[in-house]
Structure 1
Amino acid sequence: MNNDLIQQINSLQNHLNIQLASRFEHKIDNQLTAKQVLLLELIRTGVTSTKDLAAQLNITTSAVSQILNKLEAKEYITRSINKENRREIILNLGVKGNRYFEEVQMLEDEINHSVYGQLPVEDLEHLVRILTRLNVIVKGE
């Protein structure tokens, strides 16, 4: 099993899933909306300013604030004031946000082992090419 290829596949697959979730969020029946999941993913990867989150999701800062309020109320995120710059709010994953990504990671680990682990390197390489092409197709539509 080639971990570098699997990481590349997961990255491409996550990118595709984010795009598809954003595009088809109205069809998703989940405790979290697609935009909430996207926002949590961005916070997890270090995007913490409301302005940057809004730019990444192509929505208004007001809409981001509303989503953050809901996520904070449900304990998916925490907000604190930066002691060095009191005008800056620091966003972090809360208890439920961390648990959500732990569960996602456990599922990914299971999939990696039980599915990707059974494929030869050539198939994994081909899957990388396919997912790259799918990302281009989805992005272009």
Structure 2
Amino acid sequence: MADTLGRDFLRALFKLKSLLGSEFGKGGAGKKNHINLPEYILLREIAENAIGADTNTELADIREFLSISKAAVSQMLASLEKKGYITREVNPENRKYLIVTLTPQGRKILQDIDKVYTCRLQQIIKVMGEQNIKYMIRLINLLNAAVNILNNNMEGE
């Protein structure tokens, strides 16, 4: 029983990972302006950033939100900057921090992807139902919490 459950669980996780990876990659892989899901989420998080604003998203918040390392965030920022979607500037009020802002091209790609995402989400909700989507979100959050607990327990050993 546990062997079958383990295989089914891994297969489901792989399908979910493949689904998430393909959604923003349709027709974009290998192109200069290709954007993956984590990059899209990062763009959304920094969309309102501005020099001197009190509400800027900090890189530590992004690392925590995406559950990725500092190096992975830096790599994503470098990729987005190379594509011309963001700029990075030292915060003049606190030189320890960077202010990451969207370029006009970054705002355009974000608007384009937002339209696709909104349309796709509405279609998925129509097929799955709102309650099932909410249930899925709860299960994913529960899985993430369980993995974090296990990882913290392993670090303490």
So what's the TM-score if we normalise by structure 1?
Answer: 0.60
State the match for 1:139 in structure 2.
141
Distance 1:108 1:138 in 2: 19
Say if 2:44 is the partner of 1:41: yes
Number of residue pairs the alignment of both structures matches = 110
Say if 2:38 is the partner of 1:27: no
Distance 1:103 1:68 in 2: 19
Q: CA deviation at 1:108?
A: 7.0
**8 Å contact 2:43–2:110 — kept in the other structure?**
no
**8 Å contact 2:84–2:103 — kept in the other structure?**
yes
State the match for 2:155 in structure 1.
none
Distance 2:21 2:43 in 1: 18
Distance 1:37 1:108 in 2: 10
Say if 2:87 is the partner of 1:78: yes
Q: Go from structure 1 to structure 2 and tell me whether the alpha carbon gap of 1:65 and 1:105 turns closer, same or farther (over 3 Å shift).
A: closer
Percent identity over the alignment is 24
Unaligned 5+ runs, structure 2: 1-15, 29-33, 50-55, 144-157
Which structure exhibits the higher relative contact order, with contacts defined as CA atoms closer than 8 Å and separated by 6 or more residues? 1
Distance 1:26 1:42 in 2: 19
Secondary structure at the counterpart of residue 93 of structure 2: coil
Distance 1:58 1:106 in 2: 25
Q: CA offsets, 1:16-69, max 9 Å, x none?
A: xxxxxx844443423111111121122126563222211111111111001101
Q: CA offsets, 1:100-128, max 9 Å, x none?
A: 2222455578x5xxx89xxxxxxx9xx54
Secondary structure at the counterpart of residue 83 of structure 1: coil
Q: Go from structure 1 to structure 2 and tell me whether the alpha carbon gap of 1:105 and 1:61 turns closer, same or farther (over 3 Å shift).
A: closer
Give the superposed CA RMSD: 3.3
State the match for 2:99 in structure 1.
90
Q: Go from structure 1 to structure 2 and tell me whether the alpha carbon gap of 1:51 and 1:108 turns closer, same or farther (over 3 Å shift).
A: closer
Larger radius of gyration: 2
So what's the TM-score if we normalise by structure 2?
Answer: 0.55
